[in-house]
Amino acid sequence: MENKQKFLSFNLGERDAAVISLESITEVVPISLSEICSVPQMPNCLLGIYNWRGEMLWLVDLENMLGYSPISQKSNILSKMMAIVIRYESKSLGLVVRKLTDIDLLDKNQMKPPESELFKPEIFPVLNGYFINQSEEIIVNLNTEEILNSPMWNTYV
């Protein structure tokens, strides 16, 4: 049991699945585009700023960052977005995803190391590894520390 860890699972794109360790998540917040204050001349995946508990929280379109089509191009987006608030040291960031799926208990010993030929180049730098579920589907395990330290927004976050 000591090798099992809880992960929040969610969709990436139409078919892919990803997880983030619950240990790195501060909060999950439902969000709509109208609540985001966009900031000009930012990377495309940086949606803007959100007022989170009186703090300024940068929101990232995680799918766009990882090489999928932008969340804002999806239909029915206004009611279905969730921001996964992650924190590392003094940095916080909101990862906007379309849909959370579950909390999974996964065995860390079952995680396979990243293989560049299996994943989009945008995912590889923030990839801890991956799991294979019972349906033989790949579930990517994202590294929140690497996401927070991405050079893409290191000057803003």
pLDDT tens-place string over residues 11-21: 998 889 999 99
Residue 153 lies in a domain: no
Residue 52 lies in a domain: yes
Q: How many domains does the chain have?
A: 1
Q: Which domain holds residue 117?
A: 4-148
CB within 8 Å of 120: residues ≥ 6 apart: 66, 67
Model confidence, pTM: 0.90
34-89 residue pLDDT tens:
889 998 888 889 999 999 999 999 999 999 999 998 887 665 545 568 999 998 88
Q: So what's the pLDDT on residue 3?
A: 87
Residue 95 lies in a domain: yes
Residue 157 lies in a domain: no
Residue 154 lies in a domain: no
Query: Which domain CATH number covers 80?
Result: 2.40.50.180
Q: Which region holds residue 76: left if phi is over 0, alpha if psi is between -120 and 50, else beta?
A: left
Residue 12 lies in a domain: yes
- State whether residue 108 is helix, strand or coil: helix
Q: What is the mean pLDDT of residues 2-6?
A: 88
Q: So what's the pLDDT on residue 154?
A: 67
Cβ pair 130, 141 in contact under 8 A: yes
Asked whether the predicted pLDDT for residue 155 surpasses 70, the reply is no
Asked whether the predicted pLDDT for residue 152 surpasses 80, the reply is no
